[in-house]
Structure 1
Amino acid sequence: MTDSDQFSLISALAGTAYIALIILFILIIIMRRRPVGVSLSWLLLLFALPVAGIILFLMFGTRRLGTKRLRRAEELAPSYAEWIQHLQQVLTPDLRDGQENTHHLNRIYNLTEHTTRIPAIPGNQLMLFHNTADIFSGLIQDIEQAQDSIHLEFYICEAGGLVDDVITALEAAAQRGVTCRVLLDAVGSSSFFRSEAAARLKEAGVKVRASLPVGPIRMLFERMDLRNHRKLVIIDDAIAWTGSQNLADPGLFKQDAGVGQWVDAMVRIEGPAAHVNGAVFHYDWAMETGETIPRYHQPFEYQESFAPNSASLHVLPSGPGIDRANIHMVLLAAIYQSQKELIITTPYLVPDEALVTALCAAALRGVQVTLITPEKNDSRMVHYASRSYYEDLLDAGITIMHFTEGLLHTKCVLVDQETVLFGTVNLDMRSVWLNFELTLIIYDQAFGQHMAALIEEYISRSKKVSIKDWKERRFLEKLRENVAQLLSPLL
């Protein structure tokens, strides 16, 4: 066989192997039965950039959590199920009857009760915070008064400014004997782990751990863009804080991004729901460290009576491996339940077809639907992708407001000023399907009115998007937006 024949044979074999590999990945994408938009986006990428498409699919196309995490999840399952069973038992029939009499017509309540095992928890005092200084001073005050334990879990922690005061308070708490644990996302808080502040915490006795660590070897076994997006503080198992605020001073954070200061809100919970939020931290901590927290192996004593004006709420954790469709179904239920008014604030608006259809249907049946998003976004791809949906939403009669005084980061769905979805979930597919998130579903008219008042303040700092002006924007703008939309299922 001549050299030319050998080269031809090798080329033919390489070409056949290449085609077989492409066909294999096409079959893998099809057989995974992902949402149509996601599958088509991966197929488009595979055809347009075959080699790069295969590499990207291996890195980001599957929800690989790693064998260690899967093994720990199996180990934790019995004790977690036992904890939920005990929680259901201590909620006495009288308490359950009270909830059902109040909420039996609430579709979100009924859906959450049937799709999650964690029952709604009555008897909570809620305080809404939206001023950065008040958020940090409130956190520090609770940390300084802690007697037993302090647990922090954040996507982003960045030393400097107001955060340094939190670090100092944690050091002091650990030195006086309070058990302190800090769990931070390995990517979102990567710079913090190398900082002097992290070293100070460890030296003071604070346990600091990375959530979902990354690395070249791990990339072979775990998907790197599955992130822990939760923001959670638990004090003595009696007080909890959660919402959109990362552990970063907005006066310093990403000031070179050209979007202004980030604008956030947090809710402080005092009552039994703090224990449930604490269980979310306990589970995440055990998944990363293998260490269990004794408190969650002890009986939980539920109070028999509550203070006046206490609120009932569901705690809904979501993420890969946790019935990930639940938060998507709850968002849809919230939209379809709305009768008069539906207001959504989100920094990242990249919905799927089901959510777009639900929003348009709500507006067309007479619900006053308002979406509030920042005028400028720290992600250019998300900026363009989100705007590709505007024309359909505006045509349906939905009001879109652009917040002009910074990056509005608060994540909230307000349904008829009575039911509030509040927490860490953005209205994009990354939050719904990929990130580990936490949502409070609050069934309390008083809190709904507080949220409505805050939203009115946001609206006063926003400008309305005109449907006429929007349709007259330049062709290149429309082209960029529509191209970004093709990749939106992958964002």
Structure 2
Amino acid sequence: MNILCTFISWIFILIYLLLIVFVTIRILMQHRTINSILAWLLVICISPIIGVIIYLTLGELNLGKKRSKCTRNTWISIIKWLNELKESRYIFTNKHSNISKALFNLCRKRQSIRGVIGNKVQLITNTSDVMNAIIHDINFARKNIEMAFYIWQSSGLTDKVAESLIAASRRGVKCRLMLDSVGSIAFFNDPLVNIMRNAGIDIVEALQVSLLCIFLRRMDLRQHRKVILIDNKIAYTGSMNMVDPHFFKKDSGVGPWIDLVVRMEGPVSTIIGMVYACDWEIETGKRILPSPPNKKMISLKKENNYTIQVIPSGPGFSEDIIHQVLLTAVYSAHTQLIMTTPYFIPSDELLHAICTAAYRGVEVKIILPRYNDSVLVGWASRAFFTELLKAGVKIYQFEKGLLHTKSILVDKQLCLVGTVNLDMRSFWLNFELTLAIDDARFGSDLARIQDDYIASSYLLDDAIWIKRAWWQRIIEKLFHFLNPLL
């Protein structure tokens, strides 16, 4: 009996050691930064069993077998669609400002598509104005409406949007709604979902979370895009989820969420439609690729002719594209660089680029919310402040709510707006969408908005910062160590 127990014990020990070796080899073989590799190895060494479980569930960018296969099949049709779209040469351009040229060339090489011209663009900062514009466009929709959001929460103006969608569906407009399973978990338990589905609206729970598939794909991989498409002519994107800030997270103690949304008309809608179609097919297996734009969609009037590059990122799209875009944008700055983000956990490369810009004389401003809804991210962000302040970067802490806007302005010419936070999850994990807009007029509009943010912010003082308590420094260093895992 003792021999049998000893034998079984050794079998378990052998399996345990093989599992540790297997996971260690997987960590070493993955394409990731040295810091990330070392952090994961340390987690495995400190707590092998828990570390292995965490790694197998959160450590690799795994869509799951079914979605991965669907992604490969989808891209076969996407490539064919892109080749056909390139025949519509009148929507593309090679003409860019000196500030934007490197970034647009990067996107052309990595994504096989150029920036598109002939677009009308409107920046909207007031939530009520955004909602009313969406409702107006839905009411005039004739063919199709597609939406994708990380969070949809019923209440206030959001319910008015739902009512407009229901009315549109009942009059024959094809309506599709794709919502993240985690971000919109409360909504999927709302009776309104059945009402909308009974009205004919297709509602898909993207990247559904369940215990059955926890080891089959990465559970914290999220659909983070915020997109609205109407009749393949009008498109919206930006930082705003489908929530009414008068009701959303009122008990979080951070104040109202402050967002920025871009409304567009023109051929850029077709490109965004392609991104949406790819996501929809991965989730449902159904193909809904948009038709190529016609010349009637294009406005060549100077006041409306904006050049836009659509940059989708996430599993299945160009690997590392958004990180490369951000680095290119920062290194393109000659005089001024302004960044706004709610969550600031830059990679070593991006942090180095930002500090280098400040050292070489660029006026660098970073605007962050003073109070964050994520305690962990709030502390992790502070770990970078000392190095940024030393380089001469001005850090502004917004005090009138949770500044949720994601924007970058380079020399008042190159603008990046969309759904991407300056953190690891947006760089290498989530499904995101960014617009690169090469236009001084748009840059001027964005600059005015950022100036308003700065006017409502507290400028962090270097002399006061270095006097912070010792225990704060310890917490910052602790979360700084965890940055590669966030």
Q: TM-score category by the smaller chain? A: over 0.9
**Structure 2 unaligned spans of 5+:** none
Could you tell me which residue of structure 2 aligns to residue 355 of structure 1?
350
Aligned with residue 64 of structure 2, among 58, 63, 66:
66
CA–CA distance in structure 2, aligned partners of residues 314 and 138 of structure 1: 23
> Does 1:408 find its partner at 2:408?
no
1:307 corresponds to which letter in structure 2?
Answer: K
Shift of 1:181: 0.6
Aligned residue pairs, count: 484
Shift of 1:23: 2.5
C-alpha contact 2:99 2:333 (8 A) present in aligned 1: no
2:300 corresponds to which letter in structure 1?
Answer: F
> Does 1:280 find its partner at 2:278?
no
Could you tell me which residue of structure 2 aligns to residue 430 of structure 1?
425
CA–CA distance in structure 2, aligned partners of residues 328 and 11 of structure 1: 47
Could you tell me which residue of structure 2 aligns to residue 27 of structure 1?
25
CA–CA distance in structure 2, aligned partners of residues 76 and 482 of structure 1: 43
CA RMSD, 1 decimal:
1.6
Could you tell me which residue of structure 2 aligns to residue 38 of structure 1?
36
Q: TM-score, normalised by structure 2?
A: 0.96
CA–CA distance in structure 1, aligned partners of residues 344 and 232 of structure 2: 34
CA–CA distance in structure 1, aligned partners of residues 389 and 124 of structure 2: 31
Shift of 1:252: 1.1
CA–CA distance in structure 2, aligned partners of residues 173 and 287 of structure 1: 25
Q: Secondary structure at the match of 1:427?
A: coil
C-alpha change, 1:306 and 1:185, in structure 2 (3 Å) is same
CA–CA distance in structure 2, aligned partners of residues 202 and 13 of structure 1: 53
C-alpha contact 2:71 2:316 (8 A) present in aligned 1: no
Could you tell me which residue of structure 1 aligns to residue 294 of structure 2?
301
Shift of 1:277: 0.9
Provide Cα deviations, 1:221-267, integer angstroms capped at 9, x if missing partner.
11110000000000110000000000011111111111111110100
Could you tell me which residue of structure 2 aligns to residue 159 of structure 1?
154
Aligned with residue 87 of structure 2, among 86, 89, 93:
89
C-alpha change, 1:308 and 1:166, in structure 2 (3 Å) is same
Shift of 1:14: 3.5
Could you tell me which residue of structure 2 aligns to residue 464 of structure 1?
459
Provide Cα deviations, 1:343-398, integer angstroms capped at 9, x if missing partner.
00000000110001000000000000000110111111111111001000100000
Shift of 1:191: 1.1
Aligned with residue 206 of structure 1, among 201, 205, 222:
201
CA–CA distance in structure 1, aligned partners of residues 314 and 271 of structure 2: 17
Q: TM-score, normalised by structure 1?
A: 0.95
2:460 corresponds to which letter in structure 1?
Answer: V
CA–CA distance in structure 2, aligned partners of residues 468 and 204 of structure 1: 60
Q: Secondary structure at the match of 1:127?
A: strand
CA–CA distance in structure 2, aligned partners of residues 150 and 65 of structure 1: 26
Q: Secondary structure at the match of 1:100?
A: coil
CA–CA distance in structure 2, aligned partners of residues 247 and 85 of structure 1: 34
Provide Cα deviations, 1:25-45, integer angstroms capped at 9, x if missing partner.
222211213111211111111
Shift of 1:48: 1.3
C-alpha change, 1:299 and 1:121, in structure 2 (3 Å) is closer
CA–CA distance in structure 2, aligned partners of residues 332 and 279 of structure 1: 26
Range that drifts further, 8-17 or 265-274: 8-17
2:294 corresponds to which letter in structure 1?
Answer: E
CA–CA distance in structure 1, aligned partners of residues 149 and 138 of structure 2: 16
Q: Secondary structure at the match of 2:339?
A: strand
Shift of 1:10: 4.4
Q: Secondary structure at the match of 1:89?
A: coil
C-alpha contact 1:88 1:119 (8 A) present in aligned 2: no
Provide Cα deviations, 1:430-467, integer angstroms capped at 9, x if missing partner.
00100000000001110110000000000011001111
> Does 1:177 find its partner at 2:172?
yes
Could you tell me which residue of structure 2 aligns to residue 15 of structure 1?
13
Could you tell me which residue of structure 1 aligns to residue 233 of structure 2?
238
Q: Secondary structure at the match of 2:471?
A: helix
Q: Secondary structure at the match of 2:153?
A: coil
CA–CA distance in structure 2, aligned partners of residues 101 and 374 of structure 1: 33
CA–CA distance in structure 2, aligned partners of residues 285 and 321 of structure 1: 13
1:86 corresponds to which letter in structure 2?
Answer: E
Shift of 1:100: 2.4
1:225 corresponds to which letter in structure 2?
Answer: D
1:301 corresponds to which letter in structure 2?
Answer: N
**Structure 1 unaligned spans of 5+:** none
Identical-residue share of aligned pairs (%): 39
CA–CA distance in structure 1, aligned partners of residues 163 and 201 of structure 2: 11
C-alpha contact 1:99 1:122 (8 A) present in aligned 2: no
